[in-house]
Structure 1
């Protein structure tokens, strides 16, 4: 083939660029280069050794393996089905399913393994604004613009009972009692634009407590692992409630504007405690035992640090 004059100071990287240009490659590929069996690790001159630079030398190239790693930000699939904007999405605790609430007044459950719709849940009379899975992943709570709360059987794809009415305005947030506190997963809290938080037993349909104290819309809600409920509001406060009695424990002030989201330091333990880290399905009893263990460990960590932390923004 044709000969090519290159300086002895040419590096292996520069040789690869020259070769890719000669081969008219669509993308720059990596190569290793050898002169007389000696790899060009740094420069061509270093690999020549005592060989004369005045003579024609044969440089051999060997393609290197290319490891292609797809970006984690790529779109893996598009789930089509809703007839209006999707307003809220939540993954199930085991990560196998997705719930979506929409402006078309329906809730859809999706199987993420097959990336196909599983159930379409109808019952709301207006937009579905918030969704929340029960700790065991068997039930799904949804709140709508019509002020109604529904609890759905996520396994069978049907309503677990009639809608729970009581709020005068649209729902803004939902939160379930942690599994280590109640393995039956029958209590949950709902927050609304009407300034109120309600604690429900969805099995009986009864409102157990009504928490009032916020002076503006309640925007976010967390049922913590130590019997406390945390709520953030447009009144710029975070309030801490005793779930068992429905009483205010303390009010945290300091924000200069609306409190839009909350995070509790025990969130990870409460979310993951009921699920086996090897992906095995646990019975409700074993799941509750796992949840208690995780919650106890989190409580021990909090005691060691003398506090459990709450973050709000």
Structure 2
């Protein structure tokens, strides 16, 4: 082998080594609340896609399986591995605070995704949907449907709350309950006949709705903290032989939040009236982009708090160009 060939090979090896070093420049630790929920499956896919778009980032991916102590232990382990940044989807806004502050002490920036930590500036960026607005719009949707049915806003409504203690669960409930109370001031025949937490869980939604259907003969609508709650409620309605098609005066109006594949399918089949869809894929990709900016010294490009767009989906618009442009993430994740 001549000297030129040897030099070329050496240069190539150095370039490869540099590329490998670059790929490991920054390790990002991800902790999601659970992968049992399709929304968080979509979020994880979005983070992975975002990481793949930035060759200098590497991902360590963890799921807490719905347990706050597990999440604390996993994030502690990530901190001890000296990750360059953390993307957290907290199970509980308060219980995550000590570990976020521990990351702060070690100089590790924390980015919270969909759910935040109850410590304000301890997180570099909190990227979420406007959950108060989601709850408010859910109440308004139900009011609009009841007015179409009765000519005025009246009827019996159930509130299946989400997982309280999370920013998403608490704020959706605040948005719904505040707006519902405001509607009741001018519409005294609008009644909230039950409010129970189904914890973003389809089985709990099913069990609670089954009990409430047995206790209440007349139910006009159910607001659900997410689509899992809604799926459970729909299953209970069918099992109790209380399902009537949309447009029938006995139909129980169902609205969820998230835009999961099950929710989209139920809307297309006419079993569920609406969902207020988020897009965890694009939201998660943006979170990774903020991590990249921050690590490269572009801190001015990273907002402390940002609301990601959401969209009301019904059978009338679910397959419209506007919905497809927004992104039907539930369809994408199920493929």
Higher strand fraction: Structure 1 or Structure 2? 1
Determine if the TM-score, normalized by the shorter chain, exceeds 0.5: no
Compare CA radii of gyration and give the structure with the larger one.
1
TM-score normalised over the length of structure 1: 0.29
- Greater share of helix: 2
- Structure of higher RCO (CA pairs closer than 8 Å, 6+ residues apart): 2
**What TM-score results when the alignment is normalised by the length of structure 2?**
0.28
